A = this chain, B = another copy of it.
Amino acid sequence: MATGWWKMAAVSDPLLARLGSVVPLTAEQGEVVRRLQGPARVVPARVTIRSENDPVASAYAIREGWAFACKMLPSGERQVTDFFLPGDVIGFGNLFLKVADQSIETITETELVEISGPAVRLATRQSPELMDAFLSLVSRERAKLVEHLVDVGRRNSVARVAHLLLEVGRRLELAGHDARNGYACPLSQYLLADALGLTAIHVNRVLRKLRLAGLLTFRHGHVTFHDRARLVELTGFDPAYVDPKPTVVALFARMQTNGSPAPHEAVGGRRH
């Protein structure tokens, strides 16, 4: 962390914060969550934390720094599937696979906490609330993936780049950083390219276009939004899929007390 320009305030317990944002947890449950985690560990930049096909025994919480998940193709190309920001909890979706289907690598120096998979499994069995919170995180991971697929499949390169930078900004805001008008961003144009299905060269040109259009500037590791309204319009960015929603738990609870465990309403008949 020689330069440290991208450094941000570390959350004391990211996992607890994330789970708690979904379901209110008692002090006792908070203690259980704390015990799922190993000691904090500092990993240098550009280190592979876990490789594809490695056995999966843990998830991770990032207290500080940036990382990403990717998959390599036989041809040597790579597809970045997700970026991980300070405060993010990662790898829950892999926890029930025998081997990891993606690698995880650090971008900057990163302080992370290992979360024991088996311990998570035990805890969720003992506490339904924890299971709900846990499943919520998995759902969020999935929702991000779906949005990413839409991005790559059906948006043009300008909207693609802008959309990703808006998403990252929104996620930083949710983690308590002020990213409304911009943020420090250690993502290289190569990483952006591999996430968005473009070449780094083209990402460069797209960034120039965005800059000349007065929409946003991404230079020297800093993203600045110049015209948020037009950016949102251009990309169709809707932060719903990253914002922490109260889970469906409330709904479930209501249904149970109504004594109607299996409602089979008629299937809709809309035609397209």
Q: Which residues of A approach B to under 8 Å, CB–CB?
A: 35-36, 38-39, 41, 43, 46-51, 55-58, 71, 73-75, 77-79, 81, 93-98, 101-102, 105, 112, 114, 116-119, 121-122, 124-125, 128, 131-132, 135-136, 138-139, 141-143, 145-150, 152-155, 194-197, 236, 241, 245-248, 251-252, 255-256, 261-265, 267-272
State A121–B251 Cα separation when bound (angstroms): 12
Inter-subunit contact A136/B96 (CB<8 Å): yes
State A48–B176 Cα separation when bound (angstroms): 39
State A248–B141 Cα separation when bound (angstroms): 20
- What residues of chain B lie closer than 8 Å to A141, measured between beta carbons? 142
Chain B CB count within 10 A is highest, among A71, A105, A122, A153, for A153
- What residues of chain B lie closer than 8 Å to A71, measured between beta carbons? 146-147, 150
A74-B236, A146-B102, A154-B78 known; A263-B139 Cβ under 8 A: no
State A160–B49 Cα separation when bound (angstroms): 29
- The 8 Å CB contact of A118, one of B46, B119, B255, is B255
Q: 21 A-B contacts, Cβ less than 8 Å apart?
A: A36-B262, A46-B272, A47-B267, A51-B270, A55-B251, A57-B263, A73-B155, A73-B236, A79-B150, A93-B138, A94-B139, A95-B139, A96-B135, A96-B139, A96-B247, A97-B245, A102-B146, A116-B264, A117-B248, A118-B262, A122-B261
Inter-subunit contact A96/B132 (CB<8 Å): yes
Inter-subunit contact B116/A262 (CB<8 Å): yes
State A136–B39 Cα separation when bound (angstroms): 28
State A119–B261 Cα separation when bound (angstroms): 5
- What residues of chain B lie closer than 8 Å to A57, measured between beta carbons? 251, 255, 263, 265
Inter-subunit contact B97/A38 (CB<8 Å): no
Please, which residue of chain B has its CB at the minimum distance from the CB of A43? B267
- The 8 Å CB contact of A272, one of B48, B118, B139, is B48
- What residues of chain B lie closer than 8 Å to A102, measured between beta carbons? 146
